[in-house]
Amino acid sequence: KLEETFKDLNENTKKTEKDHQLCTICEVSKENYSRLNPLLSTMIHSKYARGIQAANVLLSLRLVGIQDKNLEQLFQEVRDSEVKKGSDLTSGQLALVILSLRACQNSDESVTYFPLVSQLEEKFQKEIENMGVPDGNPLTNYYQLSLDLLTLCLFNGSYSITEVKNYFTPENKNFYFGGQFSVDTGAMAVLALTCVKRSIMNRQIQTNGEDLQYINNYTESLVKKILSEKKGNGLIGNIYSTGEAMQALFVSPNYYNKNEWNCQQTLDTVLKEISQGAFDMPTAAAQILPALMGKTYLDVNNVSSCASGPGHLNISIHEPIPVEPTISPTWISVNYTVQINETFFTEVTVPKGSVFLDVMEEAQKINQTAFRFTFVESSWGPYITSVQGLEENHNDRTYWQLLSGGEPVSQGVGNYVVHNGENLELMTDSFIRAKNEKSQRETARDVDRTGEIGMAWFTLYLLNL
C-alpha cells in the first residue's frame, strides 16, 4: 500500500513539475519587466527598511536573482542585528531571518546558521506547547507557525509529523480571523505542507503512507479554500495576499483544474495595481515580487535561482521624486467614534490625503480620555494595540479591527487614506462579548440607518465569535 502511495505521489510530482512549467507562462514577460520597477524601487530605496522588513526585502530580491550593493549592505544588517537578538524574535520572524540569510548562498555557508535553526526548533515547540490541545491557540498565529514549519523543513530541522497532522487541519479556527478565511495564512500553510510532502517522498523523513494521505488532504482542502477567495478581477483574498496565494497555487497544480484559476488574469490585475502605487510599502512589494517572477519560497534552497545574476532583470531604478507639499492643503472632515458600552464621538478635520492614524491623533488631541490609543511599529507599519487603555489579547484572539462601511479595510492605520465623510468607530471587547455575530450585523445596519453609510469603523473584534 505504501509503495502504491509513493508511486501515486511520484506521478503527481512529475505532473506538478510539468504543470508548473505550463504555469510559467503566467510569469511577467521580459517586455513587461519595466512594470516591476516601482516594486524594486520601493524595496531598494526603503531607507527605513530595518529588521524584519529588511529580511522580507532581502528574501524577495534574492529569490528573483537580484544582486545589488545595497542588498549586500542589507544582508549585513539583517545578519548583525537580527542574529544578535535572535531570542527576542517571534518564531515566524526568526524563520524569515533564516530564509532571507540562506536564500542564494552556497550550501557550505549554511553551517553558520545551524544555531539559528535549532533556536527555531525551540520556538516552534513553544508555539505547539502554548496550544496545549489541538484547538488551542499558538503564541503568535498560524501564518508564523507555517513559516516555521516551512523553514524547518527546508533546512532539515526537526519537527513532528504527528504534530503537523494534529495542528494543521484546515478546519482549525486559527486559519480564520473574524470568521474570514485568511488567504495569507492558508497559502503559507500550503507551501509548508508541500515542502513536508516532498521530504517524505524523497525519503528524507520516515513516515507512513497514512501521514502522507493526511498531508495531501489538508493541502487539497486549503487550496480549495484559497481558490474560493478568488475575486472577479483575479485577485485572491485581497491585493496583499495575492502574491503568496499565487505561490501556493504554483506548487499545487494537481489539486485544482486549469479552468479554476486564470493565472494571467491575476497577473494582469496585479500589474495594474503596481502602476497605481498599491505596493508602496517595502513589505508589500517584497511579498508580491517572487510570484510575479514565477518563484516560490520553496526555491530558497535552489541555488540556481540566483545563478542568473544581475543582468537577469534589466532594471532602471530612479530615486523616487519627493512629493512637494501643497502650500494650502484641502481639508476634509471625518467622523470618529469610539464605542465602549457608551459612544464617544467627534468630528475631525484633517488635510486631504491623511491616513487613519492622523485622524486618531487629531481625535486624541481633542479628547485625550476618550480617544487615547497605543500602537507598535510592525513590518507593515503602525499596528494598534490598545484604545482607551483596552489592550488586544492574543490568547483570547481579540484585536482592534479597522472597518470601512462595515467591511474590514485591507491596509493598516499608517497607510489607509481616509475620505471626506468617513466615520471611524471603536467598539470594546465587552460590548461585543455581549452580542453574537448576528446582532453585530444588526448593529451595523442600525448605524447605517442613521445615515452614516459608507463609513469606516474601528472595532475591537472578537476573533472567536
Binding segment toward ligand CBY, per CB under 6 A, in 159-167, 200-208, 235-243, 260-268: 235-243
- Nearer CB in complex with ligand CBY: 150/409: 409
Residue 271 is given by DSSP the state H
Kindly tell me which of 153 and 402 has the beta carbon lying closer to ligand CBY.
Answer: 402
In degrees to the nearest 10, what's the CA dihedral of 394, 396, 401, 406?
Answer: 160
Closest CA to 100 of 63, 70, 152, 66: 63
Listed in sequence order, the residues at least 6 apart from 5 whose beta carbon sits closer than 8 Å to its beta carbon are 209, 212, 213
Q: Which is nearer to ligand CBY, 141 or 428 (CB)?
A: 141
| Nearer of residues 140 and 423 to ligand CBY, judged by Cβ | 140
Give the E-state strand segments of 204-259 in sequence order: none
Torsion of CA 136, 139, 141, 143, to 10 degrees: -120
Task: Name which of 261 and 399 has its Cβ closer to ligand CBY.
Answer: 399
State CA 443 to chain mean position distance.
30
Number of C-alpha atoms within 13 angstroms, CB side, residue 390?
A: 21
CB of 3 to ligand CBY, least distance (A): 39
Span near ligand CBY by CB under 6 A; candidates 189-197, 221-229, 234-242, 257-265: 234-242
What is the distance of C-alpha 414 from the center of its chain? Answer: 17
Region from 63-71, 193-201, 238-246, 357-365 binding ligand CBY, contact rule CB under 6 A: 238-246
Contact pick of 64, 251, 284, 292 for ligand CBY (by CB under 6 A): 284
Q: How far is the CB of 113 from ligand CBY (least distance, A)?
A: 17
Please say which residue, 141 or 305, places its beta carbon nearer to ligand CBY.
Answer: 141
361-420 binders of ligand CBY (CB under 6 A): 379-380, 383-384, 394, 399-402, 408-413, 415
Q: How far is the CB of 394 from ligand CBY (least distance, A)?
A: 5
Nearest to ligand CBY of 209, 414 (CB atom): 414
* Number of Cα atoms under 13 Å in the Cβ half of residue 172: 25
- Closest contact distance (angstroms) between CB of 52 and ligand CBY is 5
> Helices 2-23 and 209-227 meet at what angle, rounded to 10?
30
Residue 32 φ/ψ region, left for φ over 0, alpha for ψ in the -120 to 50 degree band, beta for the rest: alpha
Residue list 139-158, contact with ligand CBY (CB under 6 A): 140-141, 143-144
Closest CA to 263 of 22, 39, 64: 22
For the bound state, the minimum distance from the C-beta of residue 450 to ligand CBY, rounded and expressed in Å, comes to 22
By beta-carbon proximity to ligand CBY, the closer residue of 2 and 417 is 417
- Rounded to the nearest whole angstrom, what is the least distance from the CB of residue 258 to ligand CBY in the complex? 26
Task: CB nearer to ligand CBY: give 249 or 413.
Answer: 413
DSSP, res 29: P
What cell was used for 287? 511579498
CB of 311 to ligand CBY, least distance (A): 30
Least separation in angstroms between CB 317 and ligand CBY: 22
**Site for ligand CBY, residues 170 to 199, rule: CB under 6 A:** 177, 182, 184-185
Q: Is 337 one of the binding residues for ligand CBY (CB under 6 A)?
A: no
Locus of grid cell 545578519: 79
Residue closer to ligand CBY by CB (options 184, 425) is 184
Nine-digit cell string for 4? 502504491
Q: Which helix (H) or strand (E) holds 16?
A: helix 2-23
Q: How far is CA 431 from CA 98, 390, 428, in A?
A: 42, 12, 5
Distances (CA, A) of 233 to 154, 229, 237, 249, 351: 34, 11, 11, 17, 32
Q: Enumerate the β-bridge partners of residue 458.
A: 402
Contacting ligand CBY (CB under 6 A), which of 207, 241, 254, 296? 241
Considering only residues 85 through 124, tell me which ones interact with ligand CBY, judged by CB under 6 A.
Answer: 92-93, 96
Contact with ligand CBY (CB under 6 A) among 155, 167, 168, 240: 240
Closer CB to ligand CBY, residue 218 or residue 380? 380
Query: Of the candidates 346, 357, 358, 353, which has an alpha carbon nearest to the alpha carbon of residue 331?
Result: 353
By CB under 6 A, which span of 209-217, 236-244, 324-332, 434-442 interacts with ligand CBY?
236-244
Q: Nearest distance from residue 188's CB to ligand CBY, in Å?
A: 8
| Interface pattern 41-60 for ligand CBY (x via CB under 6 A) | -----------x--------
**Strand-pair category, 423-427 with 407-408:** unpaired
- Could you tell me which of 414, 364, 423, 354 has the C-alpha nearest to residue 389? 364
Identify which of 441, 381, 375, 389 has the alpha carbon closest to the alpha carbon of residue 417.
381
N residues, the chain? 465
Residue ranges in contact with ligand CBY by CB under 6 A: 52, 92-93, 96, 140-141, 143-144, 177, 182, 184-185, 237-238, 240-241, 281, 284, 287, 379-380, 383-384, 394, 399-402, 408-413, 415
